[in-house]
Structure 1
């Protein structure tokens, strides 16, 4: 309820909680002890990026803003790739991750750094040192701050858990996601605030992004740069896949330039958007 502070996880001397922790630790241990070679797909095609990710989203091609970040980057730069919806976590226990000619690269930012070298991509070559610094700050704001607000809304504040139910998750997985979002947000810091306070923080963050974007097509002019991929990944989730959230309402009512930014990238680089989502809009 508004005004109530999200509480820290309670005592762990609870049989159910202990069982859940044991399962999670066992799974993480399993992932981290595996050799990198075990992530290489047999007979993988050469010179094609294999993008490992979870399933399709309800109104975005993915529930993960980081998947949309990488896939938008691939599309903008016309890099041959294939999405593998195998729900297989990478060497760091996260998604997305890629394979390319036997190399295995986890983490969206390291993926883009790697692909920049492999394909000689120079999206940021025209940015000044100052603009590169601003771009890094905007990326951190979105991926290390706004992201946790999105997670709190979907998994904790939204009592209906609409997004998760729409993709068919059962009560146990929804409960697990709620516990994880609560713990992650508490550790990050934003989870120590009330729902009303988090909404205020969301407005401040979106105001900052809206002010920098202004009336430009992209955050640094007429052409997309790497940070546009990052910001599209995060903002598109609020625009289309966080129904009734304060973030969605703010973008629609107070910061429409952020919505236009998302629609611009979607329209130009995602012509197959409706084919990749679980609930295409009614005609």
Structure 2
């Protein structure tokens, strides 16, 4: 049986990592049997991150490499009906979401002061109380360096959120009234979209990103629909 190393979330979000959420969604869509192992220490994981898929002695790190492995090894075929043009469009939107839009969510939790309580009491709620401040400080500094190196962290808070809003508007504009990105059934790009949206919606604090999401109720509807179809959630 396959094992997915992931990170815990809450009752309303399967994982605090959009990429781990994506990997589990792809596993569910593949129909393969799998179990989950939740980690808070990633030091023994390839690349020091999750998700990581284990198949026997083999470890596959990175959600896109997991998708490729499931396609080759377990005949994951959610994209089989897509035209070459659609596959190109899905690839372009995925890269936009994962390489730029994603960082606004990271910023909201770790850098925006509004996310402090959520970080300390929800994301780190399982850690000993006397250790949370030190853990949060280390995580915050790591994120600060990452987003600075990426480049997006060199912008103002308002601009970072404006980038995300522009990306989401482009996404919603392309989807229109579709139930999922390309129509009535979820495909690979939907696993990315749902992982991001589910994580942003679970943020229980006020920020420009959360305020914006509240003006787009179709986002919550989309996540609920995805969860029902892929995971059987009511």
TM-score between both structures, scaled by the size of structure 2:
0.89
The answer to whether structure 1 residue 130 and structure 2 residue 92 are counterparts is no
Q: Distance in 2 between matches of 1:163 and 1:154?
A: 7
SS of equivalent to 1:185: helix
Please report the RMSD computed on the Cα atoms of aligned residues, expressed in angstroms.
1.8
Contact 1:155–1:178 (Cα < 8 Å) also in 2? yes
236-245 vs 257-266, which moves further: 236-245
Aligned match of 1:258: 219
Structure 2: gaps (5+ residues): none
**Partners of 2:114 and 2:206 within 8 A in 1:** no
Cα distance, 1:71–1:256 mapped onto 2, change above 3 Å? same
Pick aligned residue for 1:79 from 23, 32, 41: 32
Quick check: 2:5–2:51 contact (8 Å CA) kept in 1?
A: yes
Higher helix content, 1 or 2 = 2
Determine the C-alpha separation between the residues in 1 that align with 2:85 and 2:53: 31
Distance in 2 (CA, whole Å) between partners of 1:126 and 1:265 is 18
- Cα distance, 1:159 vs structure 2: 4.1
Question: What is the rounded CA distance, in whole Å, between the counterparts of 1:59 and 1:158 in structure 2?
Answer: 23
Structure 1: stretches of 5+ with no match in the other structure = 1-47, 274-283
Report the structure number with the largest CA radius of gyration. 1
Distance 2:212 2:107 in 1: 16
Displacement of 1:213: 1.4
Q: In 2, distance between residues paired with 1:271 and 1:163?
A: 28
Q: What secondary structure sits across from 1:199 in the alignment?
A: helix
Say if 2:29 and 2:76, in contact at 8 Å, map to a contact too. Answer: no
After TM superposition, the score normalised by the length of structure 1 is 0.75
Q: CA deviation at 1:191?
A: 0.6
Q: Distance in 2 between matches of 1:141 and 1:244?
A: 25
1:243 aligns to what?
205
Flag the structure with more relative contact order, 1 or 2, with Cα contacts below 8 A and sequence separation at least 6: 1
- State the Cα distance separating 1:102 from its structure 2 match: 2.2
| Cα distance in 1 for residues equivalent to 2:41 and 2:77 | 30
Q: Cα deviation per residue 1:11-60 (whole Å; 9 max; x = unaligned)? A: xxxxxxxxxxxxxxxxxxxxxxxxxxxxxxxxxxxxx1100122333641
Structure 1 ranges of 4+ moved more than 4 A: none
- State the match for 1:140 in structure 2: 95
How many residues align? The count is 225
CA-to-partner distance for each residue in 1:93-143, whole Å, 9 max, x for gaps?
Answer: 111101112221111110110011111121111111111111011111111
User: 8 Å contact 2:4–2:54 — kept in the other structure?
Assistant: yes
Structure 1 residues 242 and 126 mapped into 2: Cα distance closer, same or farther (>3 Å)? farther
User: What's the CA shift for 1:68?
Assistant: 0.5
Q: Distance in 1 between the 2:229 and 2:83 partners?
A: 26
Aligned mates of 1:82, 1:214 — CA distance in 2: 35
The corresponding residue for 1:173 is 135
The structural deviation recorded for 1:160 is 4.9
